[in-house]
């Protein structure tokens, strides 16, 4: 195992209403998400480069996935400046839970929002 090997390679964001959640994230990040059924789960995928080693994930609707604002928080990449994404949160059907907050000059900024499904999600950017 490499000392600096990335331990995160996939994430799943639980959803109750796939179309609503898909519309929220497509609006927020100005992207298209492809849907698929896998192992009894309805999934919509964030863009990814297969087998590149870069982290990606999906929105997932299944009996095992329950939206929540408690528990593990993932931070989505909002470079170069997360402000451009926070502006879209409420118009897409979410709520800002913590505004853009300076961490330090080396790490940058962070914010939290509650998505259309009730999940607390973090944003991170250098500016």
Across the chain, the runs of DSSP E, i.e. the strands, are 10-14, 34-38, 41-45, 56-61, 75-77, 95-104, 108-114, 120-125
Confidence at residue 94, expressed as pLDDT on a 0 to 100 scale: 98
| CATH code where residue 106 lies | 3.10.180.10
pLDDT of the residue at 4: 61
In total, how many domains does the chain have? 1
Determine, yes or no, domain membership for 47. Answer: yes
The confidence score (pLDDT) of residue 1 equals: 45
Cα angle vertex 44, ends 77, 97, to 5°?
45
At 65-112, the pLDDT tens digits run 999 999 999 999 999 999 999 999 999 999 999 999 999 999 999 999
- 3, part of any domain: no
The percentage of residues in the chain with a pLDDT greater than 90, rounded to a whole number, is 85
> Mapping DSSP to helix (H, G, I), strand (E, B) and coil, where does residue 62 land?
strand
pTM of the predicted model as reported, rounded to 2 decimal places = 0.90
- For residue 89, what are the domain limits? 10-125
């Amino acid at each position: 195992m490499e000392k600096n090997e990335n331990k995160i390679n996939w994430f799943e964001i639980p959803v109750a209403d796939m179309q609503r959640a898909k519309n929220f994230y497509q609006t927020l990040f100005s992207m298209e998400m492809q849907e698929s059924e896998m192992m009894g789960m309805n999934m919509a995928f964030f863009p990814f480069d297969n087998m590149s080693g870069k982290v990606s994930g999906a929105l997932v609707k299944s009996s095992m996935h329950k939206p929540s604002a408690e528990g593990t928080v993932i931070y989505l990449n909002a470079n170069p400046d997360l402000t451009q994404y926070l502006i879209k949160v409420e118009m897409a059907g979410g709520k800002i839970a913590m505004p853009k907050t300076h961490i330090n000059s080396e790490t940058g900024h962070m914010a939290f929002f509650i998505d259309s499904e009730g999940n607390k999600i973090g944003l991170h950017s250098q500016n």
